[in-house]
Structures are given as structure tokens and as C-alpha cells.
Structure 1
Amino acid sequence: MVNMWSIVIPTYNRLPILQKCLQAMEAQNFTTPYEIVVVDDGSTDGTVEFLQSHPQKFPHVRLVLQNHEGAAIARNTGIDVARGEVIVFIDSDLVVTPIFLSAHAKALEKSLANGDRAFTYGQVINTANFDEPTSEPVKITDISHAFFATGNVAIAKHWLLEAGKFDTGFRQYGWEDLELGVRLKNLGLRLIKCPEAVGYHWHPAFTIEQLPALVDVEAQRGRMGVLFYQKHPTWQVRMMIQMTWLHVLLWGILSLGGLLNERSLRPLLTWLINQGKPQLALEIARIFLNWYNVKGVYAAYRETRQSL
């Protein structure tokens, strides 16, 4: 019998969309008691002040503060203070439907008939529509094959503790949730897909000004990918982090060895954005962004080999 659920939401400088996220979580059609643990990771945009001054708007929220230390540490903080037997992880830019928690609960309860070594994974739909994020239709690019991802997942707290929680060595972007997923799989946990638990992941429409940050993210993802591989040196992880000759060949050919990049494609990307097609522009940009990721992961791998 589950007496309480805890929704753990790490956040950093996302106040406008966080408000929508929390409003949706407060509007749940859910009879089991639940709390919303918001772990602020050192925000400087007024997030803390807003939540502290509007407690009546968010009666389920428990605000926890920490210095800016990254998502892995923030989620571990949430796990440590959570009062619920079940923990739901969502991101602070996710807006859910009113049946979100009840859908996870029904799927988890059904899985208990075969033992409790299971967790539920909901559906994430990406959208750039801030005013009406839940109006976005599902797209082929929304399909995920991840085993464990913290954008929309419900799991018993004791499994997180037994697996050792998130590895705090992942201080930059990427892979900390999938790495924990490997350890959960090694404990024998099963993934139960729960498409009824829908979350709409908001991000601003793609602009040219985002390119430097996106390029930096790929470098970070490459470095954290190597850390992932060091912990789990398998072919499956190499495929996940794009550290194979197949990825070198694929993105090398598509990017013409890097000739297609943020500089050479800037006129085309700008034209597409001006034509009202920012998503198409982003998909084209992913060609050279993936090439940067592949180069970054191999560069980070060489650095680690040289330091041995």
C-alpha cells in the first residue's frame, strides 16, 4: 500500500515555464496524497522568491535550496528528502495532463502482480508552444527508446536507494539518468511504458542565437558520455554515446567532414527560421551538432587514455 507519492523537480532559472509545470501538478486528478519537491539548483531569476511568496498557489510544493551543482546532485537531494514511497521524476519545463499521476499509478499497480521490480515511463511530447503546450500533437521525433530517463518516470524510492542514486560525477550535460538506468536494469527492473502519462516538454523555438550554446552542450555530452562508458564499457553504451565507427561514418558523411557547420549553414537556417520553420532548421542543424558530439566523445576518450 503506497501512502504517499513524491514528485521530484530540479530547476535552474526556468521560472516562467516552472509556474506552468507546478500549476499542472497541482491540478492532478489523484486521490493518493502527494508532495512536489522542487529542488532549486541555485537559480538567479527570482524562482525562490516567487515560490516563497506564493505558497497558497502551490500547496503541495516543498522547496529545497542548494548551490548550483547540477541535475544529478539536485535529484539526489530530492530523493533524500522525499517522504513518498514512490518517486516521480519530471523536468521543470514539463507540463502534464490532469491524469498524469493516476496513469502512472494504474500502470505501477498492474505491474505489481508480477513483483515490484518495475518502473513506469510516460510519454514526452516536445513543443515550442508556451501558451498552449498541451495542444502539441505527438511526432515521430518524440519517440524515445531510452530505458530510464528522468523526464517522465515513476519508481519506488527503495530501488533508487538500492541502485545507489545518481552518480554525482556527472556534473555537466547528459547521461546521468541513462547510467542509473543501467544499474537499475542490472537489479532486474523492468520498464513499463505508460503512454497515458503524457508530459509536454517545452523549449523555446530554435533561433540562430542558440547555436553557440547547442554546440557547447554537444561537447559536454561527449565528455559525460565517456564517463558513462568508463563505468559501463559495453558495446551498447558505445552505441548510445555515438562512439563507434558507424557514427563517425554517418555524421562525417552527412556533414561533409564538418564543412556543413553553423557558419556555412547559417544563411539556410536563418532563411528557414524566417519562413516560420524553426523545427526544420533545428533538424538540419542536428547534422553538424551530432558531428560535434562524435568528435567530442572521441576527444574526451583520448584525454582519458592519455591521463592513465
Structure 2
Amino acid sequence: MLSVVIPTRSKVTSLRATLVALAAQEHRGPYEVVVVDDGSTDGTRELLHRLAGEGTWPAPRVVDGPERGRAAARNTGAAAARGSRLLFLDDDILTVAGHMSAHQEFMGEKELAHGPLREFPGARRWLERYAAVGAAELAAAAARVAAGAEGRLPRNTLETLICAMDEGKVPPVAPWAACVGANTSLPRAFFEEVGGFDEGFGHGWGCEDLELGVRAHAAGAHMVVPAPAVGVHLTHARPDRWEQHAANLDRFTALHGLRAVRELPRLLGEGGGVAAYVAACTEQAPAAR
């Protein structure tokens, strides 16, 4: 069985869109949805009870989160899950038909699948426009977004790198980067073997998923990027994004001294890019005199 683990905290509008789009897939395989409510104060619980009462989809199981950050919330969801494969999905991701099937088809003991992500820059206005509509109308609107009918869907720099490595356009300088917590699945047993997400990252944003990827890759993970598992990120502002990211990147670098980790600011930092990162990871060190 596939267990979809969704951590959430006070993002009721985008969570509703995520759950409605997920339910609209009409996935035929066995699956469950585990929502980890990590201290929401905006009506998230009421939403989940209402969706369960509509009876139009498998009701999510709601688990209380530990309120210690995203890594801890994901670990809590994984511990409560019943499936043999875990799909970690964020509460602001729209999925399309075939998404869960694409994740579930990977049966290898160490296969880690990342569904490529696209950004939806117009997400805030879109969510406001469809906040009060019924589930069927919202699902149809979400499908239009995923088809590109509501505006272009660019990739961020991390996704550009992941896809470029997968397509052989750049050297595989950081294969572990495919472990993106917003849309990634792996076997439950393998997740437990590598120790799950590092809860030491706390409440800060960023890198806790990539750090899991480093450990998974070192343990023999086979990273795959199935196109049908695509997800659309409902882009939103995060005022202190770079401050949080810098702190988490410092922790990531302290844990793993890999060159590809040390050079991440050239990719993920403000103004970073794939070409600069790949060059920094592949350039030869100066010869000793």
C-alpha cells in the first residue's frame, strides 16, 4: 500500500486544493492519506472533518504533529503510516492523474522517486478565486493549472538541476538532490534504515530533505525522476526564507563535507544558478607548486 504523508501548519486554503486534486486522481491501487496537523490555528481540522464527511474520497487520517518543524512532522506521519511505500507530499502541491500510480510502480527495495516540480507564480490569486467553490469545480480548476492553462509553470533552480542530471544534460554532481520532501517517495523499510529526516533542523526552512537524500544515496538509493509524478507548487512568499535557509545550510554542511554540499549556495542562494553550481562542483583544484 502507498501511504501519502502530508505535513501541514495553518495553510488551510492550499491544503484543501492539494487534497481535492489528490482525490480527483481516482487511483485504483491501495493507498491512504495521512495528514500531520502540526499546530494549525486556521480551521485546518474543520476542513479535514468536512472533507471526510463528504464521502467522495478516502478520508485522510489526521495525526497530531510534534510542532518541532517539518522534519519531525514528516517522521511523525511516517510512523503513523501503514503502507510499505511512503510518499511525502507538501500541503501546497497540485497533482495530476497518474501521479500516485507513477510513485507506486517503483517496487525496488531502495528506489527513491522524485516527481518533478513546477512553480505556479499566480497561485495566491488563484487560491483566492477558488476558495469558496465546491470540490468538483476546484479539482477541474487544479487540472487546468497543471495543464498550463492558468499561466506558465517554470522550474526553480533545484528542479532545473535535478531534471538536467536525469536527462544527462549536466554531470550527476549531486544525485541526492532528487530527494525533495515536497514530492518524493521511497520504501518505508529503506526510510527507516537510513534514519528518516534529521529533526535537528528544527523549525527552519530548507535542506532537511536534501540531507536525507545524501544519507539515502550513500546507502545505495536508486534515484529516479518519473515525469508522470509531476507536481505543481502553489508558490508563496516566505519573508525570512534566506535567513532560515542559510542557517539550515550551515547545519547541512557541518553534517556532510561533500563538495557538492559546500557549493550549494551557488545553486540555492539568492541569484544562484545551475551553470555556476555545476562548474563549482566539477572544476579542478589548483595544482600544487
So what's the TM-score if we normalise by structure 1? Answer: 0.70
Select the structure of larger CA radius of gyration: 1
Residue 134 of structure 1, aligned match among 125, 143, 146:
146
The aligned amino acid for 1:230 is: A
Q: Distance in 2 between matches of 1:86 and 1:220?
A: 30
The answer as to whether partners of 2:66 and 2:72 remain within 8 angstroms in 1 is: no
Q: Deviations over 1:248-275 (max 9, x none)?
A: xxx8xxxxxxxxxxxxxxxxxxxxxxxx
Are residue 178 (structure 1) and residue 210 (structure 2) matched? yes
The answer as to whether partners of 1:26 and 1:60 remain within 8 angstroms in 2 is: no
Residue 47 of structure 1, aligned match among 32, 44, 47:
44
User: How do 1:206-245 and structure 2 match up within 5 A?
Assistant: 213-214=238-239, 216-240=240-264, 242=265
Structure 2 unaligned segments of length 5 or more: list them. 131-140, 163-176, 274-289
Residue 179 of structure 2, aligned match among 148, 152, 155:
148
Q: Distance in 2 between matches of 1:144 and 1:21?
A: 25
Q: Deviations over 1:140-196 (max 9, x none)?
A: 545242221111111100011000011110011111000000100011011011011
Q: Which residue of 2 aligns with 1:96?
A: 95
User: How do 1:4-43 and structure 2 match up within 5 A?
Assistant: 4-43=1-40
The aligned amino acid for 1:5 is: L
The aligned amino acid for 1:78 is: G
Aligned to 2:196, what secondary structure does the other structure show? coil
- Residues 1:104 and 1:54: Cα distance change in structure 2 (over 3 Å): closer
Q: Which residue of 2 aligns with 1:280?
A: none
Q: Distance in 1 between matches of 2:228 and 2:153?
A: 12
Q: Distance in 1 between matches of 2:16 and 2:225?
A: 27
The aligned amino acid for 1:150 is: G
Q: For structure 1, which segment, 180-189 or 226-235, has the greater mean C-alpha deviation from structure 2 after superposition?
A: 226-235
Q: Deviations over 1:76-115 (max 9, x none)?
A: 0011000000010110000101211112223x14xx4xxx
The aligned amino acid for 1:39 is: V
More helix by share: 1
Q: Distance in 2 between matches of 1:67 and 1:190?
A: 31
Residue 222 of structure 2, aligned match among 166, 190, 195:
190
The aligned amino acid for 1:61 is: P
Aligned to 2:146, what secondary structure does the other structure show? helix
Q: Distance in 2 between matches of 1:90 and 1:103?
A: 14
The aligned amino acid for 1:80 is: A
| Greater than 3 Å deviation, 4+ residue runs | none
User: How do 1:81-92 and structure 2 match up within 5 A?
Assistant: 81-92=80-91
**Percentage identity across paired residues of the two chains:** 33
In the TM superposition, residue 54 of structure 1 has moved relative to its aligned partner by 3.6
RMSD (CA atoms):
2.2
Q: Distance in 2 between matches of 1:7 and 1:92?
A: 11
In the TM superposition, residue 33 of structure 1 has moved relative to its aligned partner by 1.2
Residue 120 of structure 1, aligned match among 113, 126, 137:
113
For these two proteins, the number of residue pairs brought into alignment is 231
So what's the TM-score if we normalise by structure 2? Answer: 0.74
User: Relative contact order (alpha carbons < 8 A, sep ≥ 6): 1 or 2 greater?
Assistant: 2
Q: For structure 1, which segment, 27-36 or 16-25, has the greater mean C-alpha deviation from structure 2 after superposition?
A: 27-36
Q: Distance in 1 between matches of 2:221 and 2:73?
A: 23
In the TM superposition, residue 135 of structure 1 has moved relative to its aligned partner by 3.5
Aligned to 1:149, what secondary structure does the other structure show? coil
Aligned to 1:237, what secondary structure does the other structure show? helix
The aligned amino acid for 1:195 is: A
